Amino acid sequence: MLETLQQLWDSGRGLQGPAGSALRITGIVVAAWLVLRLVGRALKTMKERMAASIDDAESAKRALTLARVFQYIATVVVSLIAIVLVLSELGISIAPILGAAGVVGLAVGFGAQSLVKDFFTGFVLLLENQIRQGDVVEIAGRTGVVEKITLRFVQLRDYAGLVYFVPNGEITTVANMSRGFAHAVIDAGIGYGADVDRVMALMREVAEGMRQDPDWAPRIEGEFELAGVESWGDSAVTIRGRIRTRPGEQWAVRRELLRRLKYAFDEAGVEIPFPQRTVHVVGGKADAAAAAAAGA
């Protein structure tokens, strides 16, 4: 194929007039088509090898997405070069066209800055693998499951089922909750009269029992880590702990652990307080009656 193309080009260079131009234009078109075919085959081979060597389905999808982006870029570049060469063969000066294109491009660039920013940011997100389909992320003030990623926007669906289309240009920080592992954080509030050491031992016991449960063991990856007393509130002492889970399982594990802690606290007589206020009355019966009325 390459030898035939070279002979066609050499024959065209030796000819003058319309016949030679037509032959050279044919060679340019065939060469562009051949280059695109070679690029397409190379990308297809690369995609197949990457899909076979990558066990993670989401990483394979990312590789396929990047391959499509590169193929699109190659198509645009090769097509532009071919068009410029064809115009040159037709005797059309490309300098005025390039000047006009530059002015038009400048005008369009000012009007489409946000669109260009979306495409550039989307390419960086895909290239750096910050977001994958199926991840739970927080971006641009929205939290949800990533359903679709394009060069222009990210499609999210939140817990209530609402779908958000977030332009990539608005994404400045990505909080990905589905990478590697996660932690289910537990804040347990107890009354000031409760035995803190006893409560912490009870929390460890309940968490360990959950780790041994066959239904929950596959979702948990580590032991319960007790941080200790987190704060003194108006009516409760808050004890914080966490347990390492598989990515995406932290919310279910947290809810189940809180449910089990509620039953364990009730059985052990540990008070889970509610907002309270103690009123000290100073003065006579009139003041006491007024304070009682205000409290009521």
Greatest Cα pair distance in the chain: 120
Confidence tier at 81 by pLDDT (50, 70, 90): confident
Give the Cβ contact number of residue 228 at 10 Å.
9
Q: What is the CA radius of gyration of the chain?
A: 34
Reported pTM? 0.61
Give the DSSP H/E element, type plus range, for residue 263. Answer: helix 250-268
Confidence tier at 263 by pLDDT (50, 70, 90): very high
Please answer whether residues 190 and 270 qualify as being in contact, where contact means their C-beta atoms are separated by less than 8 angstroms: yes
Mean pLDDT of the chain: 78
Reply yes or no on whether the pLDDT at 157 is more than 90: yes
Confidence tier at 193 by pLDDT (50, 70, 90): confident
Phi-psi sector, 259: left (phi>0), alpha (psi -120 to 50), beta: alpha
Reply yes or no on whether the pLDDT at 201 is more than 90: yes
- Beta-bridged to residue 157, according to DSSP, are 145, 163
Length of the chain, please? 296
Give the DSSP H/E element, type plus range, for residue 146. Answer: strand 142-149
Find which of 90-99, 149-158, 161-170 is predicted with most confidence, using mean pLDDT: 161-170
Cα four-point dihedral sign 213, 217, 220, 221: positive
d(CA 123, CA 104): 24
3-state class (DSSP) for residue 186: strand
- Per residue in 227-239, pLDDT (tens digit) is 999 999 888 899 9
Query: Which of 220, 202, 186 has its CA nearest to residue 263?
Result: 202
Q: How far apart are the first and last CA of the chain?
A: 96
Give the DSSP H/E element, type plus range, for residue 227. Answer: strand 220-232
- Encoded amino acid at 202, one letter: L
d(CA 106, CA 99): 11
Please answer whether residues 249 and 219 qualify as being in contact, where contact means their C-beta atoms are separated by less than 8 angstroms: yes
